[in-house]
Structure 1
């Protein structure tokens, strides 16, 4: 049966939306309704809060919130919250944290915290007159945003710089105001976009009154005003280091482990096919903490991957070296994060996650998140150059497979012990499961 359009869907109650969906899309409408409602929160006030995060909410989509303890960062001990569904991520992070706890821990520093926004516009006139007009209107760009920036300036942030950029070599008649901001502990998207939209109004209106412009030059056309999620000047760096001899791995001598580890990172530096998977592993750790702390992991992902390709080739976000008998592993990454505003002040679990981290400032959170990414990458490479990635990954995936097979608690306990010294592939688990059931 062909599906029919629905009018006024957003005006329906949540129950009405679910009933319509169930009847229109599911072979067993009653079962669908039941599952949707199973994930509602019994606390009506809390459920209403979640309903109002987005439009057309029908239920809640749960992800596990786990923790990775024993992270020593700049001599301070942290337990890091991680919201993620991938089975091996939290375990790998905790294992890496424990490994480096006895070797001096992680060191992190914020390099810069500048963020960017742009006003994109079309101008068809003389370039020199536009430059002169920009210098003329520039003070007004600052003064006419004072009501927006007042509170941010009191706290030490605000607009850092506004530049006119000529992009006509790449696109006909295209110019931009390239604007730099410091938003302190806020991610700052709303603040930046509000400033940019005021810049656009000031720029456009001022052009109509600028006497040096020809008639057509007064018609500056604003295309759009929007922040950028590419933040190459909002950087954080994290690292670990120890003597090579302290890299005592059961699987191989320290010198061999260090050499293979550095070579693995070097391969990701020059081979894009490897770099994408290498960096995905880093983002396993970063996204999990970003999500747990109520930040925008899509924006972080976009900015990070653009940074990884900043030199014209997609490359590793981490680097490793051995110098004078010292092994060093490091990450440098752009992170625009906030600890105030948005979900950070609304979602109860986000508030608990931030409190767990000591209610960090935005720069402190940047350091914690960068360390989570570095730890995740260390754990992945450590597995790859020793036992291989599948042994640990499939062991963590074991319960997912058993749940798909609807195993009982007793069967789960049996197979966790059974596969303790075996590689738990999907096929081997299914075969062992059916064999157990047949012999029961």
Structure 2
């Protein structure tokens, strides 16, 4: 499936929008999760401090220790029910980091010094306890009477438990973000498709109008000369069919069709005495006729819409062997559109009546095309054109005028007609 520029732009914009929204959502989730984690830890430490600090400080002031303090703190710690799901242990240390509670706790001199130096709660790195991620918050405790920090409270909190509790909220945020992003994506895509359809419709209308206008201009030449009536339209039809058979892009096919419609437009600059002459042209007259591609170039030279079409018109009388006109181009230096039009133009010229001869049969015209391959015509163009004739896609027009009418019109008896 091929997408237009507008659709590609909308899809890219939607993808970037969705990506940005998802990234912002995950950033929000991370920040939110950290905020919740900090709040829970701070609240847990605050509650533990409020519950245990009086007992700790009283025991230290009375120089109590050992199992007596441990039993008292066990009872007080049991009261910490609000945050029991997050708590994974309580530790109490002297200012030098030696353990007070429980007695077998590992000393933490560095953590104790850090907390006292900061005069605030400090957090340890994440560690694992029985396979669970935990962090320990160290809070310094000051003696109210001396304002000296005499102990440090350690509160172990489960990070995994905090995150699992927050997972439902995270899921809601992610689902809402993805859903809204998908809605944005589909909305932008729908707008792009609708806009593209309208653009395509407008473009088709413009193309049809342009083609009809060019067809009207082309008919000016055809109407000047009775025997070329409909010639430009037929050449355009043949050329379009040939371009399609050769699998050109749609835009190229259109250029070929318009170029074929206007291939003889330069003949408006050819005097009637030459253009409508009933006999064969002499060398000087042929030279005048041969100017019509250049005249077409002069007519459309400053028409921007014709920039891609004009080369097909100007070069349609060039020959593969380089002996054509006006530029004596050869081979593939001749635009493909011009090579296509040359074959269609020659076939129609041979299969329609002229003042100096009757129309040739399609079989004779095709044989002439074969004979002139690699001299006048491009081999690939002729081969494709012949398949169109063989399968009936191209059929020459029937003779319009009988012999008597031709004689009355052109004032002479035609070669090959009955006397």
Taking structure 1 as the reference length, the TM-score comes to 0.20
Point out the structure with the larger helix share.
2
